[in-house]
Structure 1
Amino acid sequence: MIFSSFRFQIFLRVAFIGLLTMAFIWLIESNKYVSATIIFSVGIFSLFSLFHYVENTNRKLTRFIEAIKYDDFIIGFDADNKVGKSFRQLNHSMKEVLDAFRHTRKENEENLQFLDTLVKNVQVGILSYDDTGEVGLINHMAKKLLSLDNLAELNELSGTDPELYILLKSIPTGGNTLYRKNELVHLAIHTSRLRIRGRELTLVSLQNIRSELQQNELEAWQNLTKVLRHEIMNSVTPISSLVSTLKDMFEEETHADNEEQMSKETISDINEALQAIENRSHALKKFVHAYRDFTQIPKPALKPVKLATLLARIENLYLAETKASQVTLATELEDDEMTIIADDELLEMVLINLVKNAIEVLIDQPDAKVTVRGYMSDQLRPIIEVEDNGPGIIPEAIDNIFIPFYTTKPTGSGIGLSLSRQIIHMHGGTLGVESEVGKKTVFKIEL
């Protein structure tokens, strides 16, 4: 309909000009020069009108194509009717096309903004660089995992973490590997290659799997302790019963009438030996019960807990002990109204264990201080830290202190820290430690 109308308008103008030309020739031949002049003027005007009609149409189409080319979808056509009523439908169609482009661009911008926000806030580090090592993308989590404020060139890593730099340069496309940055960061690294706008890019994902590794470690220890508990109890129970029976029988057989058959010293030695066996059996049973405690922690009953109230209970609990040992116990809260989701009884058990350990290492140390602080991380996750200014933990022991039954204390069971980490894992969090020998130790709970 549009093109038919356009052709019709052109045909009318050309036909009219043709008639004017014929009339002009006839008037010239008839020596009617005045009329011929008028007809000539009308013809010139008609030619100009035809040119203007076609030029306006071309200009409108050019504006439409340029609007698409340069993504300028603000331009409108409804109000532009200079080409005549026959092009109103063309105006409307052009507007619909531009509206469709405008809607598509808006959707693309929204999707781009969504992806940008997702990349920035996802809990996986994302890093991309080209063959020259120029970094095109690095999100917030990647900066955090790499302990960097920014990274423009990949070779900048060689100064801060040369081992990781060599690993990234050597890992094959599509490869996966693990890298332990420190006690708190265990990275799972995956690389892939892609081509964007003619550029070959390497895309690297970095994920801290420390929590998963710790969970697997705990499950392995639990399975082991279940087996040990079963086997030890099967052996210890009859031994303990047998020793008790033997002791009773021996006491009956060694009454006054039979004492001539056996010297008092021998009787005493046997009694002591049997007593030692019995004591050791009870100790072994107690040891097995420690295994049971490690493997049978109740499921946390999560509820809102005001951290200030919880820390006040810890302070009151250790008020007498800190006074006697001359250790200062202080609490620091970023917000007095800070509330966490946790099982307050289980979390209190963890904090008691951490504070108790801290106080014990500070005994007889001048200016001894234990600080329990609570705050929110950059990712809005609750953090609780227990810090002491004691002798610190040697690097060789840091890797082992969370292993069940490992202890550096003469009277320690080695269960406390393992239980504490397990409880925090059951809350969906992590428990880690950082220490500077001779300066301080910080246990960090992230929920």
Structure 2
Amino acid sequence: MSINTIGLNAITTLMIIISIIFGIQLSIRQLKNERRTKSVLQAMANGDPSLGLRSNSLLRYEIEQIKMNIQIGRIRAQDDNQFLQELLRHIDSCILVVDGANQVIHKNQALDKLLGPMPADITSPQWRELGQYITSANTSHRDIVVWNKNARNDTLSLHLTYTRLQEKLVKIISIQSIHHALEAKENKAYENLTKVLTHEIANSIMPLSSLAQTAKELLPSQDKFDCEDDLKDLTEALTTITKRSESLGKFIQSFSQITKLPKPQPERLDLTALVKHVLLLLSKSDKSKEIDINFVFDNQSYWVFVDSCQLEQVLVNLIANAKQSLSNVAQKKIQITIKRQSQGGLIVDIEDSGTGIESHVAEHIFIPFFTTKQQGCGIGLSLSRQIMLAHRGDLIYVDKPLDQKQLPGACFRIIFNLT
């Protein structure tokens, strides 16, 4: 065997030995890395902050940096979520988020205040027209829905949009009550109409009354008039014109109350005490003992911020109307009930045992000038409702089912929003 062959074999053998040694070292290193990785994962699973590594380990430092960044990101996400929650809590508009299964996944306090407690399932009958609208909506758009709460109709403006949340399509609905805004415009229109009518009618009546009185004074004496009966008829006619003109003038003055309602001067008072005070006043002015008035309330005080004079006028008007409705019935009863609403407000129901109000009439009873009474002028209910609206409350007619009525006649409800 030549020297070259021996040298080549030696080199080959050496390379093999080196490869084996390198492979063994690589396997040992890989095994150590696997053990270290396993140890780190076990330490992380057990909550060991050292991660099973030496304090000066570079790997431990890098992992701790990653852990710190994750914690910072989580804290920021929690802060952002808390900020958004607080922001939604302070927004007046109602916010509702619904998933593809028609389940509520988020709502703010404003929605609970407006609608009251509602189930998570939008298809529940409690959601009524609003639920039907949300479930049937396929595109982003705006609409208006009528909502009934506690026998009180509300008008809701809705804005529905679609977006993705955690890779799922959800509906975001913003809801706002525009009932008071619409009522304010309607009342303003009635107010302007009343101003024009009272001005024009007053300008026509006053000269007519003055001319009739002057003509009456210019009539010749009886001895200078050819026919005594003609003189008598003419005098009576002029007297009738004068009296009727004066009555119309007073009628116009009463209508001006609607357009000149003073701004409420609210004060804190006990509603129970005020109702008792009004009933005492009416009992002294009305000596009739035929009507049985029952006042139902819990043995507690109901505090409200109202103008006592204006609210007293509302109570007087409603109780007087209730008494008038009892003129043709044998059982003469009135019940006044104070109770709290689930949303935190107060209501006063005034019911009577009269014949009630037809539905086609009930639609118009709060319109100025509208009346079904022969001697009425259509002011009382309209003025009373304007007073309650000025107090951020309302006055409504409640058409209760017979099984829910305390008395079979009409029911008017005074609403106080305490929030």
Q: TM (normalized to structure 2)?
A: 0.76
Q: 1:320 to 1:326 in 2, by over 3 A?
A: farther
- Matching of residues 153-192 of structure 1 within 5 Å: 154=123, 165=132, 169=136, 173-179=140-146, 184-192=152-160
- Matching of residues 215-254 of structure 1 within 5 Å: 215-250=184-219, 253-254=220-221
2:187 partner letter? L
Counterparts of 1:323 and 1:168 in 2: how far apart (Å)? Answer: 59
Q: Does structure 2 retain, via aligned residues, the 8 Å contact 1:145–1:185?
A: no
Q: Does structure 2 retain, via aligned residues, the 8 Å contact 1:236–1:281?
A: yes
Counterparts of 1:241 and 1:370 in 2: how far apart (Å)? Answer: 45
- After the TM superposition, which of the residue ranges 166-175 and 291-300 deviates more from structure 2? 166-175
1:405 is displaced (CA, Å) by 1.9
Q: Which residue of 2 aligns with 1:424?
A: 388
Q: Deviations over 1:146-175 (max 9, x none)?
A: 899537364x66x99689948974796313
Q: 1:125 to 1:405 in 2, by over 3 A?
A: farther
**Corresponding position: 1:370 with 2:334:** yes
Counterparts of 2:118 and 2:215 in 1: how far apart (Å)? Answer: 73
SS of residue matched to 2:217: helix
- Matching of residues 306-321 of structure 1 within 5 Å: 306-320=270-284
Counterparts of 2:32 and 2:130 in 1: how far apart (Å)? Answer: 73
Match of 2:121 among 148, 152, 157: 152
Match of 2:180 among 197, 206, 211: 211
**Corresponding position: 1:83 with 2:47:** no
- Structure 1 spans left out of the alignment, 5+ residues: 1-24, 26-39, 68-73
Counterparts of 1:142 and 1:390 in 2: how far apart (Å)? Answer: 38
- After the TM superposition, which of the residue ranges 51-60 and 185-194 deviates more from structure 2? 51-60
Q: Deviations over 1:317-363 (max 9, x none)?
A: 23357772522222233461221111111111101111111122124
Pick the structure with greater CA Rg.
1
Q: Deviations over 1:259-278 (max 9, x none)?
A: 3xx20011111111111211
Q: Which residue of 2 aligns with 1:34?
A: none
Q: 1:199 to 1:303 in 2, by over 3 A?
A: same
Match of 1:101 among 73, 89, 92: 73
2:411 partner letter? V
Match of 1:287 among 237, 241, 251: 251
Counterparts of 2:104 and 2:134 in 1: how far apart (Å)? Answer: 19
- Matching of residues 279-358 of structure 1 within 5 Å: 279-320=243-284, 324-334=288-298, 336-358=300-322
1:221 partner letter? Y
Q: Which residue of 2 aligns with 1:13?
A: none
1:82 is displaced (CA, Å) by 2.6
Counterparts of 2:129 and 2:27 in 1: how far apart (Å)? Answer: 79
- Matching of residues 33-182 of structure 1 within 5 Å: 54-55=33-34, 58=37, 75=47, 77=49, 79-80=50-51, 82-87=53-58, 89-90=61-62, 93-111=65-83, 113-114=85-86, 124=94, 126=96, 128=98, 130=100, 134-136=102-104, 150=119, 152=121, 154=123, 165=132, 169=136, 173-179=140-146
- After the TM superposition, which of the residue ranges 396-405 and 80-89 deviates more from structure 2? 80-89
**Corresponding position: 1:412 with 2:376:** yes
Counterparts of 1:138 and 1:110 in 2: how far apart (Å)? Answer: 14
- After the TM superposition, which of the residue ranges 329-338 and 215-224 deviates more from structure 2? 329-338
Q: Does structure 1 retain, via aligned residues, the 8 Å contact 2:293–2:333?
A: yes
Counterparts of 1:112 and 1:134 in 2: how far apart (Å)? Answer: 23
Q: Greater helix share, 1 or 2? A: 1
Counterparts of 1:265 and 1:101 in 2: how far apart (Å)? Answer: 105
Q: Does structure 2 retain, via aligned residues, the 8 Å contact 1:402–1:417?
A: yes
Counterparts of 2:255 and 2:396 in 1: how far apart (Å)? Answer: 22
Counterparts of 2:252 and 2:145 in 1: how far apart (Å)? Answer: 36
Q: 1:302 to 1:143 in 2, by over 3 A?
A: closer
Q: Which residue of 2 aligns with 1:441?
A: 410
Counterparts of 2:95 and 2:296 in 1: how far apart (Å)? Answer: 31
1:403 partner letter? I
Q: TM (normalized to structure 1)?
A: 0.72
Q: Does structure 1 retain, via aligned residues, the 8 Å contact 2:147–2:154?
A: yes
SS of residue matched to 2:411: strand
Counterparts of 2:359 and 2:106 in 1: how far apart (Å)? Answer: 32
2:253 partner letter? H
Counterparts of 1:45 and 1:444 in 2: how far apart (Å)? Answer: 91
Counterparts of 1:413 and 1:191 in 2: how far apart (Å)? Answer: 42
Counterparts of 1:165 and 1:98 in 2: how far apart (Å)? Answer: 43
Match of 1:194 among 144, 162, 167: 162
1:189 is displaced (CA, Å) by 3.9
Match of 1:271 among 235, 259, 263: 235
Q: Does structure 1 retain, via aligned residues, the 8 Å contact 2:116–2:343?
A: no
Identity between Structure 1 and Structure 2 (%): 25
Q: Does structure 2 retain, via aligned residues, the 8 Å contact 1:138–1:151?
A: no
Pairs aligned (count): 386
1:95 is displaced (CA, Å) by 4.8
Q: 1:420 to 1:332 in 2, by over 3 A?
A: same
Q: 1:134 to 1:46 in 2, by over 3 A?
A: closer
Q: Deviations over 1:172-210 (max 9, x none)?
A: 631323547697214234242313245444444554433
Q: Does structure 2 retain, via aligned residues, the 8 Å contact 1:57–1:83?
A: no
- Structure 2 spans left out of the alignment, 5+ residues: 1-13, 15-20, 403-407
1:81 is displaced (CA, Å) by 6.1
1:129 is displaced (CA, Å) by 6.0
